[in-house]
């Protein structure tokens, strides 16, 4: 060791993983949004999913295989990412570029209301989510 001490992460006493987690009703709203996004008659071709990973919810479009040489797997294309800020207790919206990097979406301020974020994704005034 070169004399530097390893940093140890110390959580404050008030920190509780249940408190830090995104609100369950918000997660349920995102899942419901994904379920209603695709009409029933098109579900054999395309689906929407919400992938939840701790403080991040990624909306993913899934497409059925369309060419035999690509195999039987459905393709996955992330559409938008919602990150729950533990310290501020609000949602932040991100978009993905062609290099698969996520960037903060600047046209909607962070908010505690998940419905506002879902409305902005649905409205997509810039064409950045749905093309």
- pLDDT tens-digit map of 88-131: 999 999 999 999 999 999 999 999 999 999 999 999 999 999 98
- pLDDT tens-digit map of 19-60: 578 999 999 999 999 999 999 999 999 999 999 999 999 999
Q: Which two tokens stand for residue 118?
A: 């879902």
Percentage of the chain modeled with pLDDT above 70: 85
Structurally, the chain folds into a number of domains equal to: 1
Q: Identify which of 32, 25, 88, 87 has the alpha carbon closest to the alpha carbon of residue 59.
A: 32
Strands in 102-104's sheet, in edge-to-edge order, are 46-53, 56-63, 75-85, 90-96, 102-104
In a domain, 3, yes or no: no
In a domain, 8, yes or no: no
In a domain, 110, yes or no: yes
Question: pLDDT value at position 13?
Answer: 45
In a domain, 5, yes or no: no
In a domain, 59, yes or no: yes
Which structural domain, as residue segments, surrounds residue 63? 17-123
In a domain, 109, yes or no: yes
Q: Identify which of 112, 105, 119 has the alpha carbon closest to the alpha carbon of residue 37.
A: 119
Backbone angles phi, psi at 79, to 5 degrees: -105, -45
Question: pLDDT value at position 9?
Answer: 46
């Amino acid at each position: 060791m070169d004399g530097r001490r390893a940093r140890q992460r110390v959580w404050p006493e008030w920190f509780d993983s249940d408190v830090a987690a995104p609100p369950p009703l918000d997660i349920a709203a995102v899942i419901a949004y994904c379920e209603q996004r695709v009409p029933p008659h098109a579900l054999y071709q395309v689906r929407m999913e919400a992938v939840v990973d701790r403080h991040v919810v990624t909306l993913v479009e899934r497409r059925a295989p369309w060419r035999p040489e690509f195999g039987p797997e459905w393709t996955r294309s992330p559409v938008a990412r919602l990150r729950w800020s533990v310290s501020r207790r609000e949602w932040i919206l991100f978009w993905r570029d062609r290099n698969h990097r996520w960037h903060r979406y600047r046209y909607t301020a962070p908010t505690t209301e998940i419905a506002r974020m879902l409305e902005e994704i649905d409205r997509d005034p810039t064409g950045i989510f749905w093309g």
